[in-house]
C-alpha cells in the first residue's frame, strides 16, 4: 500500500516538476542555439539533451521521498507517523454467571530501534519497563505492557485477574465495544483485537513510514557513515573496506589487462594464436565470473589470492577480446600505408596497430572494470575478512540496514567514478575517437 | 633512371567453392622515370589488384615486377602509396604524419624537418602543422597524404583513387595540385581513377583496362597533362581533342559494362 503511494508521488513529481521547470525555462532561460530552433525533437536523438534541472530534481525527489517515508527527524514533510507513546484501553471480563467487570490496560509503545540508539551520555537504549499501574477494583485487574513500534502483542489480561481463565471468564468487550473472538477494532493509536481464543491483542498504528529495519532515515545513514569512518566495522574503517575492494579490482584488472591485451593482439595478428586461443576465449567469455567463485575458493582458499585471480579471470577475456577487436578494426589502408612508408613489422605494431586499437581497449577497460567491480562485491559476499561486500553481507545478518545502505551507495558511487575516470583518460589519450 | 617494368603479370586464385578467379592476365607495361600514367576501367577489371601487386601487397601468380632492375617482393619505401581516404594516422599531428616515413627510417630531425616543412608549404598546409587529422577537411587530409608520400622520396607513387572521396570542386583543385607536384618532383606516378576526365587531365599515358580477365584494353598518349601544368584545368577541358577522347573512352567503358551487365533493354 505504502509502496503504491510512493510510486504515485514519484510519478506525480516527475510530471509536476516538468511542468514547473519548463514554464520557468520559457520565462527566464530561453536559449536560442541551433538545437533550440529544431521543431522536430521527438525522434531526433541529437536534439535530446539531458535536462540538468531534471537530474537535480530527480535526486531531490528521491531524497524527499526517503525522508517522508522513514522515521526521519529532518524538518521536512513526512507521511503519517507510527504511534509512539502510551495508550490505554479497557476490557470487559464476563463470568458465566453474568457478572462483569472492567479493567484498564496501559500499553507503552517504544521505538523498535531502541537498542540501536544512544542517549546523551552514550549509553545504548534499553527496552523500557512496563508502566506502573494500580490493580484497581473488582475481579478484573488493571494490566500494563510494553510493545515495540510496528510490533504486535498478545496481552494475557486475565492472567492477573482474581477470577480469570480458570473461572471461565470471557472477554466480551474492548473499550466498551462488544467484540467476538477473532474480531478487531480500530483506534487512532492502533488496532485492538481478540485472538481466536479470546485474548486481547494490540498492534500500534504503523502509519505510512518504513521502520528502520527496512529503510533507515537519511540522517541515521549519514551518522552511520561517519561512525563507520571513525570507528569502523569489523575491525576496519569504511575507508579500509573500500580500499581493499578497490585494490583487489585494480590488481585483478591490471594483471588481466597485462595478459589479456597482448593475448588479444597475438590473436589479431597471427593465424596460429587465433586458432590456439579461440576455443579458450570463446568458451570462457560467456562464463560469468561469479560462477568461478566456488572453484577459486577450492583452489586458492578465501584469501586475497583467490579474489585477485578471480578478478584477473574476469578482466582477462574481456581485455583479450577488446584487443583482438582493436586489431581487426585497423583499416587495411593504414597498415599498407605504413609498410609503403618503410615501417617494419614492429613499427607497424607500435605506431599503427596499438594506437588504432586504443578506442577498443578503452571500451573493453570500461566493461572489464564494471564487471570486476561487480564481481569483487559478490566475491566478498561469499567469503572475506575485509571489503565492502563483506561489510554489507555481515551487516545484513545483524539487521544493520543502515550499514547495508551506506555500502550500496558507496559501491554505486565508486563504480560510477571508475567509469568517469576511464572516460576522462580516454578523452585525453584518444581524442580522435568518434571523429574520424 | 628508375624504370618500372611490369612483365607479363597474371593473377589467378582459387575460390572456396572450387572455382577460380582470373583477376589479371598477361599484363605488361613499362614506365619511364617521371611518367604519369592513369588507369581507367570498369569495376572488376583488376586495376586495384594491379596496383597492389606493384606496391608489393600481393604476389602475382605469373610474371614479375622490376623497379630499377630489382624484383619487387613486398612493400617498400621506394614505392609510395596514396589511398582514397582513411589511411592517415589520426593519433599523430599533421607534421608527424608527413614525417612518418623518415622517422621510421631513423633519420634525424634536423635532416627531415626542412623537407617536411617545405612539403607542407607546397601543399598549402603551412598553418596546419600542429593540427590533428580529424580537424582537417577531406581535401586537406588528401594533401597530407600526398605530402606524407613525397616526404619519403619514393621512386614511384601509386595512387588508388586519391581524389575519389572528395567533392567535385575540391577535386578539381586537387587535380591541379597533383599535376603541379608531379612536374615539380618528377616522380613516376600510377594513378587509378573512376573519372574519365581525371584520367585524361592527369595522365600523360592513359591505360584502359578490360575485365574478365583483367587485361590491358588500350593505351593512349595524351598531351593534356603537359598542357594543364600551372594552368586552369577548365581551359584544358575546352580543347576539342579532350572532348573527343572523353567520348571515345566513355563509350569504350560503357560497352564493357554492358557486356558484363547486359544491355538495359534486355534486362528490363
Cell triple for residue A300? Answer: 586458492
Burial class from Cβ neighbours inside 10 Å (0-12, 13-18, 19+) for residue B165 reads middle
Class of domain B4-78+188-267: alpha beta
User: Between chains, do B104 and A347 touch, taking CB under 8 Å as contact?
Assistant: yes
- Interface contact A335, partner B, CB < 8 A: no
Cell triple for residue B44? Answer: 572488376
d(CA A35, CA B128): 30
d(CA A65, CA A192): 30
pLDDT in tens, B218-257: 888 888 877 777 777 788 888 888 888 888 888 888 888 7
Percentage of residues in chain A having pLDDT higher than 70: 99
pLDDT in tens, B96-138: 999 999 999 888 889 899 989 999 988 888 899 889 998 888 8
Mean pLDDT calculated for residue range B254-263? 74
Residues in chain A within 8 Å Cβ distance of B90:
356, 432, 435-436
Phi and psi, residue B222, nearest 5°: -125, 150
Nearest to B225, CA basis, from B36, B9, B43? B36
Give the residue from A332, A335, A337, A362 with the most B CB atoms within 10 Å of its CB, the best one to mutate.
A337
Phi and psi, residue B97, nearest 5°: -65, -45
- Interface contact A434, partner B, CB < 8 A: no
Q: Answer for the pair A89, A144: CB distance below 8 angstroms, yes or no.
A: no
Of A337, A344, A355, the CB nearest to B83: A337
For residue A436, pLDDT beyond 80? no
Question: Looking at residue B141, what is its pLDDT?
Answer: 92
User: Between chains, do B132 and A431 touch, taking CB under 8 Å as contact?
Assistant: yes
Percentage of residues in chain B having pLDDT higher than 90: 23
Residues in chain B within 8 Å Cβ distance of A435:
90, 134
Question: Looking at residue B263, what is its pLDDT?
Answer: 58
User: Between chains, do B89 and A436 touch, taking CB under 8 Å as contact?
Assistant: no
pLDDT in tens, B69-91: 888 888 988 899 999 887 899 99
Distance (Å) of CA A342 to CA A281, A346, B4, B60, B74 = 34, 11, 19, 21, 11
Q: Predicted confidence band at B262 (pLDDT cuts at 50, 70, 90)?
A: low
| Range A232-243 burial, b when 16+ CB lie within 10 A, else e | ebeebebebbbb
For residue B162, pLDDT beyond 70? yes
**Chain B (87-146) residues lying within 8 Å, Cβ to Cβ, of chain A:** 87-91, 100-101, 104-105, 132-134, 145
Mean pLDDT calculated for residue range A82-86? 92
Question: Looking at residue B267, what is its pLDDT?
Answer: 43
Of B55, B100, B134, the CB nearest to A435: B134
For residue B212, pLDDT beyond 90? no
Question: Looking at residue B234, what is its pLDDT?
Answer: 80
Q: Angle at the Cα of B69 (from B66 to B73), degrees rounded to 5? A: 40
Q: How far does B134 lie from chain A, in Å, by closest CA? A: 6
d(CA A403, CA A228): 8
Percentage of residues in chain B having pLDDT higher than 70: 96
Query: What mean pLDDT, rounded, does chain A reach?
Result: 91
Question: Looking at residue B95, what is its pLDDT?
Answer: 92
d(CA B144, CA B150): 10
Mean pLDDT calculated for residue range A44-51? 79
Of B74, B81, B86, the CB nearest to A331: B86
Report the 3 state secondary structure along B31-76: ECCCCEEEEECCCCCCHHHHHHHHHCCCCCCEEEEEECCEECCCCC
User: What ipTM does this complex have?
Assistant: 0.91
Domain boundaries, given as residue ranges, for chain A: 2-68, 85-204, 220-429
Residue A153 contacts by C-beta under 8 Å, 6 or more apart in sequence? A107, A145, A147, A201, A202, A203
Can you list the alpha helix ranges (DSSP code H) found in A270-400?
271-284, 293-300, 304-328, 332-340, 345-347, 354-382, 388-397
Burial class from Cβ neighbours inside 10 Å (0-12, 13-18, 19+) for residue A190 reads buried
Mean pLDDT calculated for residue range B24-49? 88
Handedness of CA A385, A388, A389, A391 (dihedral sign): positive
Question: Looking at residue B268, what is its pLDDT?
Answer: 38
Second CATH level (architecture) for the domain A220-429: Orthogonal Bundle (1.10)
Percentage of residues in chain A having pLDDT higher than 90: 73
Q: Predicted confidence band at B265 (pLDDT cuts at 50, 70, 90)?
A: low
For residue A17, pLDDT beyond 70? yes
User: Between chains, do B89 and A358 touch, taking CB under 8 Å as contact?
Assistant: no
User: Between chains, do A432 and B55 touch, taking CB under 8 Å as contact?
Assistant: no
The DSSP result for A51-117, as a single string, is: -HHHHHHHHHHHHHHHHHTBT--SSS--PPPPP-EEEEEEEEEE-TTS-EEEEEEEEEEE-TTGGG-
d(CA B79, CA B180): 20
Question: Looking at residue B1, what is its pLDDT?
Answer: 53
Q: Which DSSP helix (H) or strand (E) runs through B216? A: strand B215-221
Give the residue from A341, A356, A430 with the most B CB atoms within 10 Å of its CB, the best one to mutate.
A341
Question: Looking at residue A266, what is its pLDDT?
Answer: 96
Cell triple for residue A166? Answer: 480458570
Q: Predicted confidence band at B266 (pLDDT cuts at 50, 70, 90)?
A: very low
Domain boundaries, given as residue ranges, for chain B: 4-78+188-267
For residue B6, pLDDT beyond 70? yes
d(CA B118, CA A388): 61
Q: Does the pTM exceed 0.95? A: no
Packed helices A354-382 and A388-397: angle between N→C axes, nearest 10 degrees:
20
Amino acid at each position: 500500500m505504502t509502496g503504491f503511494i510512493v510510486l504515485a508521488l514519484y510519478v506525480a513529481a516527475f510530471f509536476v516538476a516538468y511542468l514547473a521547470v519548463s514554464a520557468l525555462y520559457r520565462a527566464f532561460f530561453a536559449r536560442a542555439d541551433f538545437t533550440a530552433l529544431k521543431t522536430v525533437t521527438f525522434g531526433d536523438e541529437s536534439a535530446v539533451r539531458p535536462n540538468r534541472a531534471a537530474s537535480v530534481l530527480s535526486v531531490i525527489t528521491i531524497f524527499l521521498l526517503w525522508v517522508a517515508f522513514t522515521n526521519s527527524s529532518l524538518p521536512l514533510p513526512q507521511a503519517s507517523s507510527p504511534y509512539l507513546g502510551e495508550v490505554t484501553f479497557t476490557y470487559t471480563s464476563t463470568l458465566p454467571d453474568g457478572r462483569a467487570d472492567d479493567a484498564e490496560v496501559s500499553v507503552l509503545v517504544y521505538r523498535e530501534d531502541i537498542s540501536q540508539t544512544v542517549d546523551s551520555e552514550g549509553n545504548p537504549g534499553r527496552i523500557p519497563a512496563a508502566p506502573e499501574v494500580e490493580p484497581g477494583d473488582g475481579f478484573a485487574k488493571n494490566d500494563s505492557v510494553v510493545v515495540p513500534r510496528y510490533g504486535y502483542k498478545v496481552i494475557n489480561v486475565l492472567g492477573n485477574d482474581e477470577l480469570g481463565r480458570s473461572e471461565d471468564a470471557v472477554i466480551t468487550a474492548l473499550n466498551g465495544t462488544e467484540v467476538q473472538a477473532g474480531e478487531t477494532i480500530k483506534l487512532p493509536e492502533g488496532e485492538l483485537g481478540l485472538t481466536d481464543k479470546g485474548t486481547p491483542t494490540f498492534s500500534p498504528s504503523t502509519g505510512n513510514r518504513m521502520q528502520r529495519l527496512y529503510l533507515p532515515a537519511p540522517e541515521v545513514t549519514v551518522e552511520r557513515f561517519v561512525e563507520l569512518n571513525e570507528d569502523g566495522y569489523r575491525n576496519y574503517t569504511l575507508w579500509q573496506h573500500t580500499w581493499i575492494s578497490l585494490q583487489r579490482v585494480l590488481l585483478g584488472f591490471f594483471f588481466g589487462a597485462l595478459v589479456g591485451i597482448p593475448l588479444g593482439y597475438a590473436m589479431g595478428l597471427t593465424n596460429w594464436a587465433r586458432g590456439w586461443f579461440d576455443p579458450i576465449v570463446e568458451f570462457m567469455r560467456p562464463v560469468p565470473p561469479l560462477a568461478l567463485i566456488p572453484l577459486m575458493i577450492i583452489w586458492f582458499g578465501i584469501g586475497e589470492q583467490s579474489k585477485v585471480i578471480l578478478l584477473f579471470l574476469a578482466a582477462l577475456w574481456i581485455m583479450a577480446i577488446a584487443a583482438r577487436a582493436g586489431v581487426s578494426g585497423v583499416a587495411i589502408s593504414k597498415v599498407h600505408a605504413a609498410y609503403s612508408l618503410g615501417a617494419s613489422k614492429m613499427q607497424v605494431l607500435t605506431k599503427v596497430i596499438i594506437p588504432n586499437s586504443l578506442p577498443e581497449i578503452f571500451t573493453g577497460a570500461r566493461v572489464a572494470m564494471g564487471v570486476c567491480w561487480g564481481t569483487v562485491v559478490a566475491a566478498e559476499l561469499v567469503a572475506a575478512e575485509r571489503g565492502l561486500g563483506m561489510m554489507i553481507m555481515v551487516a545484513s545478518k545483524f539487521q544493520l540496514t543502515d550499514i547495508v545502505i551506506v555500502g550500496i551507495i558507496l559501491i554505486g558511487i565508486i563504480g560510477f567514478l571508475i567509469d568517469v575516470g576511464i572516460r576522462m583518460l580516454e578523452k585525453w589519450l584518444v581524442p580522435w575517437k568518434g571523429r574520424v | 633512371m628508375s624504370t618500372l617494368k611490369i612483365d607479363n603479370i597474371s593473377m589467378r586464385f582459387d575460390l572456396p567453392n572450387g572455382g577460380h578467379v582470373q583477376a589479371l592476365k598477361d599484363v605488361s607495361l613499362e614506365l619511364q622515370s617521371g611518367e604519369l600514367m592513369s588507369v581507367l576501367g570498369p569495376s572488376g577489371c583488376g586495376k586495384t589488384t594491379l596496383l597492389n601487386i606493384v606496391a608489393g601487397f600481393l604476389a602475382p601468380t605469373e610474371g614479375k615486377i622490376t623497379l630499377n632492375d630489382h624484383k619487387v617482393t613486398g612493400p617498400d619505401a621506394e614505392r609510395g602509396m596514396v589511398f582514397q581516404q582513411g589511411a592517415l594516422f589520426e593519433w599523430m599531428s599533421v607534421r608527424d604524419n608527413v614525417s612518418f616515413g623518415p622517422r621510421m627510417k631513423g633519420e634525424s630531425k634536423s635532416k627531415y624537418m626542412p623537407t617536411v616543412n617545405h612539403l607542407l608549404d607546397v601543399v598549402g598546409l603551412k598553418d596546419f602543422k600542429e593540427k590533428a587529422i580529424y580537424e582537417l577537411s577531406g581535401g586537406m587530409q588528401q594533401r597530407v597524404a600526398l605530402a606524407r608520400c613525397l616526404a619519403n622520396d619514393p621512386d614511384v607513387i601509386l595512387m588508388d583513387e586519391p581524389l575519389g572521396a572528395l567533392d567535385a570542386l575540391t577535386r578539381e583543385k586537387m587535380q591541379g595540385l597533383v599535376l603541379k607536384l608531379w612536374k615539380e618532383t618528377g616522380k613516376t606516378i600510377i594513378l587509378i581513377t573512376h573519372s574519365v576526365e581525371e584520367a585524361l587531365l592527369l595522365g600523360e599515358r592513359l591505360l584502359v583496362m578490360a575485365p574478365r580477365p583483367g587485361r590491358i584494353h588500350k593505351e593512349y598518349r595524351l598531351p593534356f597533362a603537359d598542357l594543364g601544368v600551372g594552368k586552369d584545368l577548365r581551359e584544358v577541358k575546352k580543347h576539342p581533342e579532350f572532348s573527343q577522347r572523353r567520348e571515345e573512352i566513355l563509350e569504350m567503358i560503357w560497352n564493357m559494362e554492358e557486356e558484363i551487365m547486359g544491355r538495359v533493354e534486355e534486362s528490363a
